[in-house]
Amino acid sequence: MNRNLILAVVLSSIIYIVWFTYITPPQKPQQLPAKAEASAGKKAEALSNSGSNGPTGTAEQRASGSSSAGSYADGRNSPTGTTEQQASGSSSAGSYADGRKKTAKPLELETLKAKILIDPAAGAIRNILYQGPISEVNLIPQEEPGFLSCLENLDYKILKKDRASVSLGANFTSRISLVKKLSFSSENAFNEMELSFRNNSDTAFEIAPFGIKMGPGLGTVATEEKENPKIWEADYTFQEKGKKNPTLAKLKADINSDHWGWAGMNNRYFLFAVINDGKHFSRIAYEKKKIKENDAPFVSLITKPFTLGPGEIKSLKFRFYAGPKNYGLLKTLGEGLDRSVDFGFFAPLAKLANSALQYFYKLSGNYGIAIVLLSIVLQIIIFPLGLKSYKAMAIMKKIQPEMQALQTKYKSDPKRMNMEVMDLYKKHGANPLSGCWPMLLQIPVFFALFTALRNSWDLHGASFALWIKDLSAADSLFGHLPESVPLAGGMTLGGPLPFIMGALMFLQQTMSPQPAGDPTQAKIMKWMPVLFTFMFLSFPSGLVIYWIINSLFSIGQTLYLKKAAN
């Protein structure tokens, strides 16, 4: 690693941040071709255009607590509960003044890695308490209305419950019964939700569209909530013609189509996604809601209308994933869920680095050691280029006095000066650009590793040795500034790793060939170790370890080459 690399990384970092923050326009949601639904009728069309995310009916009906959830084939409307319930507005859990139902004591389900709290009154997921490597994480930042909430104004009763599933029943109308079943996998796999409608009458009945909700927002680990409270986003995938893999897009508006793969809530470490099999959903409705003064996405998957014949039972069954963004697991599950993992601009390199990291982890059983091994292998690969760069810099240093003499002699004739300098390069076999190859190779590797290590769930809570307990987080052994400090409250004071890295960079700088050049550039380079030390205070510990190993390897390489030259 030489001065050119250090300068290039700094400049590239500035360009990288400016480009993606101020230049690249936000991605517009894809408006996919809508699929005609001939059987929806005027009522379903009106609902679709209204953007309803909850029980069916007009906005006025929803505000007043009433709803026309469907109709009989002869045109008669049916209420959403029994006549007695509609008249009194009662439910087993009571209701708030604005019509929202009070939640009863939650039902607790349990899987291998999580506890799930179900609201029995609304039939929604109130909390998912995922047991992470450091602490428990609540994936649902706001209990109401709850994830997968739908038709929540019904009077649900518990029909059956076991360790990881629950069935709730309700009267959808006076003649239509509904069973809502939530099943959670005890392994790292898909969960399932099933809505079964049964027509207990002798007349056909149409079930109008309704929304199945996700959001607002999605919970994450404590450090992310503190440092980046607006990290959540709503995403979906769709299949572009001619492309093998599905495309990931951000939800910013309604998607009036059923041609999408999955939709859900996404942040750096976690994903909640519903899989679309093309049978049950007609479109995606999007809006924003506030959580602690921050805008949070709120999504409703709008179902397709369908008709229940006399005595007929029809079910809406779909799979969903709720858990960490483990790239290997999501890749195995399929359905394009792995697209939710952000590998950045250099995604192919980042994926390759992630695969290599997993390989070395299997060998060592420690992600810190895996990063060290990965760093050594990368340095061995680029060693020939580093050797060439070192020799080129040594030659440039050797011919520097002659070059300065030519510049002084022909300063009034730039054309002649350039010709003489080129002849000098040719005479000594010097190539000023040959020292740039290691720099050009390491820049994308650096950013690929930065993204892979920063967004890797595997590294969250992964310890290395001594005080390093989380390779995905900054070394904060020295603590943080008090929250009361203006502008910098809560900022990390770092730990030993960034300062070790800065010291090694300074040592490396003094040992490397330093051709005389622009005095301003020389002064800038002297301050680079200080600048990098402060930059790396907030970088993941794993990335700082990579840079330390890189510097140690470069120092060893320099000592070897100097000894060989002597």
pLDDT in tens, 485-517: 665 556 666 778 889 888 888 888 777 655 545
- Contact yes or no for 470/489 (Cβ under 8 A): no
Of 72-76, 256-260, 370-374, 432-436, which one has max mean pLDDT? Answer: 370-374
pLDDT band for position 92 (cuts 50, 70, 90): very low
Give the Å distances, CA to CA, from 125 to 17, 170, 215, 272, 497.
Answer: 38, 17, 11, 12, 42
- Per the model's pLDDT, the better-predicted residue between 197 and 18 turns out to be 197
Task: Please list, residue by residue across 310-347, b when 16 or more beta carbons sit within 10 angstroms of its beta carbon and e when fewer do.
Answer: eeeeeebebbbbbbbbbbebbeebebbbbbbbebbebe
- Per the model's pLDDT, the better-predicted residue between 436 and 199 turns out to be 199
Is residue 80 scored above 60 in pLDDT?
no
pLDDT in tens, 126-183: 888 888 877 788 888 887 788 998 988 888 999 999 999 999 999 998 899 999 999 9
Tell me, what amino acid is at 400?
Q
Q: What are phi and psi of 86, to 5 degrees?
A: -65, -35
Lowest-confidence pick of 166-170, 363-367, 443-447: 443-447
pLDDT band for position 480 (cuts 50, 70, 90): low
Each domain of the chain, given as residue ranges in start order, spans 31-340, 349-565
pLDDT band for position 433 (cuts 50, 70, 90): low
The stretch 248-273 carries a mean pLDDT of 87
Lowest-confidence pick of 5-9, 267-271, 298-302: 5-9
Residues 6+ apart with CB under 8 A from 178: 151, 154, 169, 170, 171, 172, 195, 196, 197, 198
- DSSP per-residue letters across 89-122: ---TT-B-TTSPBPP-SPEEEE-SSEEEEEETTT
The stretch 337-345 carries a mean pLDDT of 86
Report the pLDDT value the prediction gives residue 564, as an integer from 0 to 100.
67
Among the four given CATH numbers 2.70.98.90, 2.60.40.1180, 1.10.260.40, 3.30.450.20, the one describing domain 31-340 = 2.70.98.90
Pick from 367, 327, 325, 544: nearest CA to 446:
544
What percent of the chain is predicted at pLDDT more than 90? Answer: 14
Is residue 373 scored above 60 in pLDDT?
yes
Q: What is the C-alpha separation between 434 and 422, in angstroms, rounded? A: 15
Q: What is the C-alpha separation between 94 and 35, in angstroms, rounded? A: 40
Is residue 195 scored above 90 in pLDDT?
yes
Tell me, what amino acid is at 155?
D
Is residue 332 scored above 50 in pLDDT?
yes
Which token pair is 29? 């949601």
Query: pTM of the entire structure?
Result: 0.73
- Contact yes or no for 153/67 (Cβ under 8 A): yes
Report the pLDDT value the prediction gives residue 104, as an integer from 0 to 100.
65
Report the pLDDT value the prediction gives residue 67, as an integer from 0 to 100.
38
Report the pLDDT value the prediction gives residue 240, as an integer from 0 to 100.
74
Report the pLDDT value the prediction gives residue 273, as an integer from 0 to 100.
92
Report the pLDDT value the prediction gives residue 395, as an integer from 0 to 100.
78
Report the pLDDT value the prediction gives residue 348, as an integer from 0 to 100.
87
pLDDT in tens, 109-138: 988 888 899 888 888 898 888 888 777 888
pLDDT band for position 555 (cuts 50, 70, 90): confident
Is residue 566 scored above 70 in pLDDT?
no
Report the pLDDT value the prediction gives residue 279, as an integer from 0 to 100.
87
Report the pLDDT value the prediction gives residue 86, as an integer from 0 to 100.
33
pLDDT band for position 87 (cuts 50, 70, 90): very low
What percent of the chain is predicted at pLDDT more than 70? Answer: 72
Most distant pair of Cα atoms in the chain: their distance = 106
The stretch 214-243 carries a mean pLDDT of 76
Report the pLDDT value the prediction gives residue 314, as an integer from 0 to 100.
93
Report the pLDDT value the prediction gives residue 487, as an integer from 0 to 100.
59
pLDDT in tens, 389-404: 777 777 777 788 888 8
User: Which one-letter DSSP state was computed for residue 339?
Assistant: G
pLDDT band for position 88 (cuts 50, 70, 90): very low
Of 82-91, 116-125, 467-476, which one has max mean pLDDT? Answer: 116-125
Mean pLDDT, the chain, rounded, equals: 75
Report the pLDDT value the prediction gives residue 361, as an integer from 0 to 100.
92
Tell me the β-bridge partners of 102: none
Is residue 551 scored above 50 in pLDDT?
yes
pLDDT band for position 481 (cuts 50, 70, 90): low
Is residue 31 scored above 70 in pLDDT?
no
